[in-house]
Protein backbone atom coordinates (compact mmCIF):
# COMPACT_ATOMS: atom_id res chain seq x y z
CA UNK A 1 0.00 0.00 0.00
CA UNK A 2 1.54 3.34 -0.97
CA UNK A 3 2.26 5.80 1.78
CA UNK A 4 0.84 9.31 1.50
CA UNK A 5 3.24 11.96 0.27
CA UNK A 6 4.60 14.18 2.99
CA UNK A 7 3.95 17.91 3.15
CA UNK A 8 7.65 18.65 2.62
CA UNK A 9 7.67 16.55 -0.55
CA UNK A 10 4.53 18.20 -1.90
CA UNK A 11 5.98 21.65 -1.17
CA UNK A 12 9.02 20.92 -3.37
CA UNK A 13 7.03 19.27 -6.14
CA UNK A 14 6.86 21.55 -9.21
CA UNK A 15 3.46 23.00 -10.00
CA UNK A 16 4.34 24.30 -13.47
CA UNK A 17 4.84 22.28 -16.67
CA UNK A 18 8.43 21.82 -17.89
CA UNK A 19 8.25 24.54 -20.54
CA UNK A 20 8.59 28.30 -20.86
CA UNK A 21 5.23 28.66 -22.64
CA UNK A 22 3.16 31.37 -21.03
CA UNK A 23 5.86 32.37 -18.55
CA UNK A 24 6.45 36.09 -18.21
CA UNK A 25 10.23 36.54 -18.10
CA UNK A 26 9.84 39.51 -15.77
CA UNK A 27 8.09 37.38 -13.12
CA UNK A 28 11.18 35.88 -11.52
CA UNK A 29 9.29 33.39 -9.31
CA UNK A 30 7.42 31.74 -12.20
CA UNK A 31 10.50 31.98 -14.42
CA UNK A 32 12.68 30.15 -11.88
CA UNK A 33 9.93 27.56 -11.32
CA UNK A 34 9.87 26.83 -15.07
CA UNK A 35 13.66 26.45 -15.10
CA UNK A 36 13.52 24.04 -12.14
CA UNK A 37 10.73 22.01 -13.74
CA UNK A 38 12.72 21.62 -16.96
CA UNK A 39 15.81 20.48 -15.08
CA UNK A 40 13.81 18.05 -12.94
CA UNK A 41 12.24 16.49 -16.01
CA UNK A 42 15.66 16.02 -17.61
CA UNK A 43 17.08 14.43 -14.45
CA UNK A 44 14.12 12.05 -14.22
CA UNK A 45 14.77 10.87 -17.78
CA UNK A 46 18.47 10.46 -17.00
CA UNK A 47 17.77 8.39 -13.89
CA UNK A 48 15.24 6.24 -15.77
CA UNK A 49 17.94 5.42 -18.33
CA UNK A 50 20.28 4.53 -15.50
CA UNK A 51 17.73 2.14 -13.96
CA UNK A 52 17.13 0.44 -17.31
CA UNK A 53 20.91 0.11 -17.79
CA UNK A 54 21.26 -1.58 -14.40
CA UNK A 55 18.47 -4.03 -15.23
CA UNK A 56 20.11 -4.74 -18.59
CA UNK A 57 23.44 -5.49 -16.89
CA UNK A 58 21.69 -7.91 -14.51
CA UNK A 59 19.97 -9.59 -17.45
CA UNK A 60 23.27 -9.96 -19.35
CA UNK A 61 24.91 -11.53 -16.30
CA UNK A 62 21.97 -13.82 -15.55
CA UNK A 63 21.40 -15.05 -19.12
CA UNK A 64 25.03 -15.49 -20.16
CA UNK A 65 25.41 -16.59 -23.77
CA UNK A 66 21.64 -16.31 -24.40
CA UNK A 67 21.55 -12.59 -23.61
CA UNK A 68 20.92 -11.68 -27.26
CA UNK A 69 17.59 -13.53 -27.20
CA UNK A 70 16.49 -12.94 -23.63
CA UNK A 71 17.47 -9.30 -23.10
CA UNK A 72 16.33 -7.82 -26.43
CA UNK A 73 13.39 -5.86 -25.01
CA UNK A 74 15.54 -4.27 -22.31
CA UNK A 75 18.22 -3.45 -24.86
CA UNK A 76 15.72 -1.67 -27.12
CA UNK A 77 14.23 0.15 -24.16
CA UNK A 78 17.70 1.29 -23.08
CA UNK A 79 18.52 2.57 -26.58
CA UNK A 80 15.30 4.60 -26.60
CA UNK A 81 16.07 6.00 -23.13
CA UNK A 82 19.58 7.00 -24.22
CA UNK A 83 18.18 9.42 -26.79
CA UNK A 84 16.69 11.63 -24.07
CA UNK A 85 18.91 10.84 -21.09
CA UNK A 86 21.38 13.72 -21.37
CA UNK A 87 20.78 16.67 -19.05
CA UNK A 88 21.04 19.65 -21.40
CA UNK A 89 19.82 22.48 -19.22
CA UNK A 90 17.26 25.15 -20.01
CA UNK A 91 19.18 27.91 -21.81
CA UNK A 92 18.25 26.81 -25.33
CA UNK A 93 14.55 26.62 -24.52
CA UNK A 94 14.81 29.88 -22.62
CA UNK A 95 16.30 31.84 -25.50
CA UNK A 96 14.82 30.05 -28.54
CA UNK A 97 11.08 29.62 -28.71
CA UNK A 98 10.14 26.54 -30.75
CA UNK A 99 6.31 26.45 -31.07
CA UNK A 100 5.81 22.74 -31.76
CA UNK A 101 8.37 21.46 -29.27
CA UNK A 102 7.90 23.87 -26.38
CA UNK A 103 4.13 23.47 -26.35
CA UNK A 104 3.37 19.74 -26.38
CA UNK A 105 -0.35 20.34 -25.82
CA UNK A 106 -0.68 22.05 -29.20
CA UNK A 107 -2.73 24.88 -27.70
CA UNK A 108 -2.24 28.20 -29.47
CA UNK A 109 -1.05 30.42 -26.63
CA UNK A 110 -0.65 33.52 -28.78
CA UNK A 111 -4.33 33.46 -29.75
CA UNK A 112 -5.28 33.11 -26.10
CA UNK A 113 -3.19 36.20 -25.27
CA UNK A 114 -0.93 34.26 -22.91
CA UNK A 115 2.41 34.47 -24.68
CA UNK A 116 3.96 36.00 -27.75
CA UNK A 117 7.68 35.77 -28.56
CA UNK A 118 9.19 39.20 -29.09
CA UNK A 119 12.92 39.90 -29.32
CA UNK A 120 13.76 36.72 -27.41
CA UNK A 121 11.29 37.60 -24.67
CA UNK A 122 7.65 36.86 -23.99
CA UNK A 123 5.13 39.60 -23.52
CA UNK A 124 1.64 39.25 -22.11
CA UNK A 125 0.53 42.41 -23.90
CA UNK A 126 -0.65 41.97 -27.52
CA UNK A 127 1.57 43.75 -30.07
CA UNK A 128 -1.16 46.23 -31.07
CA UNK A 129 -1.54 47.45 -27.49
CA UNK A 130 2.23 47.59 -27.03
CA UNK A 131 2.54 49.89 -30.04
CA UNK A 132 -0.17 52.13 -28.60
CA UNK A 133 1.76 52.26 -25.32
CA UNK A 134 4.87 53.42 -27.18
CA UNK A 135 6.88 50.19 -27.12
CA UNK A 136 9.47 50.56 -29.90
CA UNK A 137 10.80 46.95 -29.74
CA UNK A 138 8.08 45.67 -32.08
pTM: predicted TM-score of the whole model, two decimal places:
0.59
- DSSP codes, 65-93: GGHHHHTHHHHHHHHHHHHT-S---SHHH
Q: Is 6 helix (H, G, I), strand (E, B) or coil?
A: coil
What's residue 47's pLDDT?
Answer: 92
Task: Round to whole Å and give the CA distance between 33 and 16.
Answer: 7
Q: What pLDDT band is residue 114 in, cutting at 50, 70 and 90?
A: very low
pLDDT digits (tens, 9 = 90+) for 16-70: 778 777 777 788 888 888 888 888 888 989 999 999 999 999 999 999 999 889 9
User: Angle at Cα 10 formed by Cα 7 and Cα 13, nearest 5°?
Assistant: 155
Q: What pLDDT band is residue 3 in, cutting at 50, 70 and 90?
A: low
Amino acid sequence: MPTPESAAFLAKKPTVPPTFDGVDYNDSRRFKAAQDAILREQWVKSMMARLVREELAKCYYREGVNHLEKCGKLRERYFEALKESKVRGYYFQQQNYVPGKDNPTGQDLTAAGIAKPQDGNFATVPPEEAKKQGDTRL
